[in-house]
């Protein structure tokens, strides 16, 4: 099981810069989505603080979803206009 000991890729998106009503609207930008070859990111509506809460359809987020498929090309980090993405 060589994969077990490999370091997992962690991608964080700073939601104060992108999405969550502050910063830029991810629906109009989408640069990280389009630059990513394996399509790691997902554009979706926020779930709210609690999953049972009524949802605000105006808030959209980008979540790095398929992390294990990230090839660490760093294109998303370079292309993001507000530098919200970090890849660890």
Partner 1 sequence: MCDYCMTHGAGGKWYLNAQNYSNEIVEKYNLRDFLMEQYTNFEQISVRKTHGFNAVGLGYKLRMPLIGRIVKRAAEKMLHSRKPPTNPFKAEGHMGQVVPLEDAITILEKCAAEPIIEKNCMCRYMSRGIKESCCINFGVMSEIIDQLPRFIPEKDKYHLTRKQAIERFIRHNKKGYIGTIWFGPFPYVNNLCSCESPECAGIRPRKDFGIMSIYKAEYLIQVDPLACTGCGACVSACKFGALKITGNPAKVSIDLNECYGCGVCRHVCPQVALDLVPRDEVPGFAGVY
Residues that bind partner 1 (CB under 8 A): 1, 3-4, 8, 26-27, 29-30, 33-34, 38-39, 41-45, 47, 51, 55, 63-69
The single-letter DSSP state of residue 38 is T
The smaller minimum CB distance to partner 1, of residues 17 and 61, is found at 61
DSSP 55-70: P-TT-EEEEE--GGG-
In the bound state with partner 1, the residue whose beta carbon lies nearer, of 15 and 64, is 64
Residues 6+ apart with CB under 8 A from 28: none
In whole angstroms, the minimum distance from the beta carbon of 44 to partner 1 comes to: 4
Residue 47 CB, shortest distance to partner 1, in Å, is 6
**Shortest Cβ distance from residue 49 to partner 1 (Å)?**
14
């Amino acid at each position: 099981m060589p994969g077990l000991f490999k370091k997992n890729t962690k991608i964080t998106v700073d939601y104060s810069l992108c999405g969550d009503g502050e910063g830029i609207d991810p629906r109009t930008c989408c640069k990280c989505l389009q630059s990513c070859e394996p399509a790691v990111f997902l554009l979706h509506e926020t779930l709210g603080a609690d999953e049972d809460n009524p949802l605000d359809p105006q808030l959209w987020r980008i979540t790095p979803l398929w992390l294990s498929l990230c090839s660490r090309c760093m294109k998303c980090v370079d292309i993001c206009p507000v530098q919200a993405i970090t890849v660890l």
